Chain A
Amino acid sequence: GAGVSQSPRYKVAKRGQDVALRCDPISGHVSLFWYQQALGQGPEFLTYFQNEAQLDKSGLPSDRFFAERPEGSVSTLKIQRTQQEDSAVYLCASRQYGTGGNTIYFGEGSWLTVV
């Protein structure tokens, strides 16, 4: 596709509910990232895939957070038993190659509100 596509754009979840956020990266991009952006803060790294391999998940805040990219393209970020502190914008990004100097392109984010 032309850009990184995320869905849903907006999600309201009741506390304790499970949510799944989808990311469709730019076609052919090897690297995929998930970030969490709390209100008024900079994005914080959650996890990184190179193709289908999850190479870094050091930023996932708890074992309630799980990400996958089974075929090396679309990715899903799943949050189990949501808590109010999970309310944030979840940004997905992709990069053509695996090196840091290449541009990372961001989607418009999935806005999660836990009530």
Chain B
Amino acid sequence: AQSVTQLGSHVSVSEGALVLLRCNYSSSVPPYLFWYVQYPNQGLQLLLKYTSAATLVKGINGFEAEFKKSETSFHLTKPSAHMSDAAEYFCAVSDDNQGGKLIFGQGTELSVKP
């Protein structure tokens, strides 16, 4: 069965500092991997996705993530945090064998201090 573990339920950074949100996955088949962001009282918005092309994936709002098969990781990074990045971030995994349904991690709340 597939699963996702997000390390750290809450991460706090200063404005302008590096953002690093950690995600490790478990999958018996080559996975598709996703990062979604959720702002308060809103739905989920896709930041980026890995679908077995380039291992370094660039997304919206300056975020990127690197797929590392040897480490079963898909960590999300952004070089310089902005106040507007404060939100909940979810890592998710899927595969075609299960209809491509997303299995989500528990989420990481990102706070950005001025």
Contacts and interface: CB of A to CB of B under 8 A. Distances in A.
A104 B2 CA distance: 18
Contacts of B42: 108
A18 interface: no
A54 to B, nearest CB: 11
Contacts of B98: 56, 100
B90 A42 contact: yes
B44 A100 contact: no
Interface string A47-64: 010100001100000000
B114 interface: no
Interface in A71-97: 91, 93, 95
Interface residues of A, number: 29
A105 B51 CA distance: 16
Given A45-B102, A100-B100, A100-B101, 17 more contacts: A4-B43, A40-B107, A43-B90, A43-B102, A43-B104, A45-B103, A56-B98, A56-B99, A93-B102, A100-B95, A100-B99, A101-B32, A101-B49, A104-B34, A104-B102, A106-B43, A108-B41
30 contacts: A31-B100, A40-B107, A41-B106, A42-B90, A42-B105, A43-B44, A44-B104, A45-B102, A48-B99, A48-B101, A50-B99, A56-B99, A91-B43, A91-B44, A93-B102, A95-B100, A99-B100, A100-B32, A100-B94, A100-B100, A100-B101, A101-B32, A101-B51, A101-B52, A103-B46, A104-B34, A104-B100, A105-B46, A106-B45, A107-B43
